Structure 1
Amino acid sequence: MSSGVMEEGNPTMKLYSHPMSSCSRRVRLALNLKGLKYDCINITSAGDPELLKVNPMGYVPALVDGTTVISDSYAILLYLEEKYPLHSLLPQDLTKRAINYQVASIVSSSIQPLQNMTLVNYIGEIAGPDEKLPWAQHHIRKGFIALEKLLVSYAGKYATGDEIYLADLYLAPQLDNAINRYKLDMTEFPLLISLNETYSKLPSFQQVMV
């Protein structure tokens, strides 16, 4: 899979990814929005030898850009923003920029790790299978309460205005997980529902959220 056009003379980047990984989806969204060409290598096992050569932790995403190898979605996104500034992932306004950082932190630190399938399956093993869904829903809901309140003063068409920024790249995959994988009741989150509906209509997001 590839998307967009890279700077002339640069080799195609490689992204080690998994279709259902929200961390990988963030990076794929950024690459698509920036119009960067890349080969998407889908990994089905954390023990995949090819992945381990790039990231000994065995996690996706991992990006190879020439001789530069980067793991962790946040590090990759900041790298892409600095090296390929076309279609900036961060607003110029410092307050809105800080809100984007905060949204990214809430999703990546306070929600996503606690609803990760590895942890959810472990909860099922130690507490019983009936506890898996309530566990995930509880932690997602807690984070969504914070996000709904945080964004009410900043949202426009997208999370922090009328341009797609870093916050949107984190929100879209997390909303998809909450709604489609964990069946969270979204009634109390009208702003997040509205954002999710907007994301679902964008071709650059449709390519990734499948």
Structure 2
Amino acid sequence: MTIDRPPLTLFTQSRNSAGERVRIALNLKGLAYDYVSVASMEAAGYRRINPQGLMPALKVGEEIIAQSGAILEYLEDVYSERPLLPANPIERAQARAFACLISSDTHPLCNYRVRKYLTQEMNASDEAVLAWYRNWVTISFTALEELLARRASAQSYCFGDNPGWADLHLVPVVDNARRFRCDLSAFPRLIAIEDRCSKLEAFRRARPEAQPDYPGYVKTTVSPGR
């Protein structure tokens, strides 16, 4: 059965870490896509695309997929030639669990709208918001580090010798933790994998500063692929 593969358009912005996950996945799979900066759109205009108003959203032909997790599942289903998940069912589940700890447990507590609410509605000081952020990052990273320590064998990336599902979730959250000056010295396995990923073109091209809406963006020429 032939699966339709219409053109892809990603609605996001440079600092959106969920959008960075999708950009990494698109790059790892070698897929071309159009980039539309939500920052250049009116809020009402973007809500007509994604009623929740959150990023990212992927336009597939004339259809819209919201939520990075659903987008990643779509890409894995349709563009299976370069899989992001391990072949082994247990490792597939472990990779998904690792990613969910970041996307479902950590990211919702630390994202911008939560920090904004703490400041504007709860009158939390900047120091209190920073303490909030660092607390949840430390709890999350402690668990992630232990998950990697429990693997049956050492691997170059989170769950294999090629970067994939877990790694594309890890890299943006580590970058955010650095922006908030979190102490990462207790997480050598996470940092080693993040450092390894950061040297790969698929990850470099997904970085915030590589996006056309990043302040001070300078266009560079890169080739597709991993």
TM-score by length of 2: 0.84
Question: In the alignment, what sits opposite 1:201?
Answer: 199
Shift of the 42–189 alpha-carbon distance from structure 1 to 2, 3 Å rule, reads same
Select which of 150, 153, 157 maps to 2:150: 153
Q: 1:93 to 1:117 in 2, by over 3 A?
A: same
User: What runs of 5+ residues in structure 2 fail to find an aligned partner?
Assistant: 210-226
- Number of aligned residue pairs: 202
- Looking at structure 1, the residues matched to 70 and 12 of structure 2 have their Cα atoms a distance apart, in angstroms, of 15
Given that 1:25 and 1:173 are in contact with CA atoms closer than 8 Å, whether structure 2 keeps it comes out as yes
CA distance in 2, matches of 1:124, 1:151: 35
Contact 1:124 1:132 in 2 (8 A): yes
**Which of 27, 52, 59 is the aligned partner of 1:32?**
27
Segment drifting more, 66-75 vs 116-125: 116-125
Contact persistence 1:47–1:58 (CA under 8 A): no
Counterpart among 80, 89, 110 of residue 105 in structure 2? 110
Question: 1:208: Cα distance to partner?
Answer: 1.2
- Aligned residues of 1:200 and 1:206 also touching (Cα < 8 A): yes
Question: Given that residues 86 and 160 in structure 2 are in contact (C-alpha distance below 8 angstroms), is that contact kept between their aligned partners in structure 1?
Answer: no
Match in the other structure for 1:131: 128
In the alignment, residue 36 of structure 1 is paired with which amino acid? L
* Local SS of the residue matching 1:148: helix
Instruction: Give the residue type in structure 2 aligned to 1:203.
Output: E
Is the 1:46–1:59 Cα contact (8 Å) retained in structure 2?
A: no
Q: Does 1:192 align with 2:190?
A: yes
The amino acid of 2:203's aligned partner reads F
Where do 4+ consecutive residues of structure 1 move more than 4 Å?
Answer: none
User: Is the CA contact 2:167–2:194 (under 8 Å) kept in the aligned structure 1?
Assistant: no
Q: Distance in 2 between matches of 1:47 and 1:23?
A: 20
2:86 — aligned with what?
91
Q: Which residue of 2 aligns with 1:169?
A: 168
Q: Where does the alignment leave 5 or more consecutive residues of structure 1 unmatched?
A: 1-8
1:59 is aligned, of 47, 54, 61, to 54
Task: State the SS of the aligned residue for 2:10.
Answer: strand
Show CA shifts across 1:126-175 (max 9, x none).
Answer: 22222111110100110000000011233511111201121011101111
Structure 2 distance, partners of 1:10, 1:166, is: 21
Give the deviation of 1:78 after TM superposition: 0.3
- Classify the secondary structure of the residue corresponding to 1:44: helix
TM-score normalised by length of structure 1 = 0.90
The separation in 1 between residues aligned to 2:106 and 2:140, in whole angstroms, is: 6
Superimposed CA distance per residue, residues 70-119 of structure 1 (whole angstroms, 9 cap, x where no aligned partner): 00000000001101112101111111111111111100111111110111
SS at match of 2:70: helix
Q: CA deviation at 1:10?
A: 5.0
Q: CA RMSD in A?
A: 1.8
Please state whether the residue corresponding to 1:20 is helix, strand or coil.
Answer: coil
State the percentage of identical aligned residues: 37
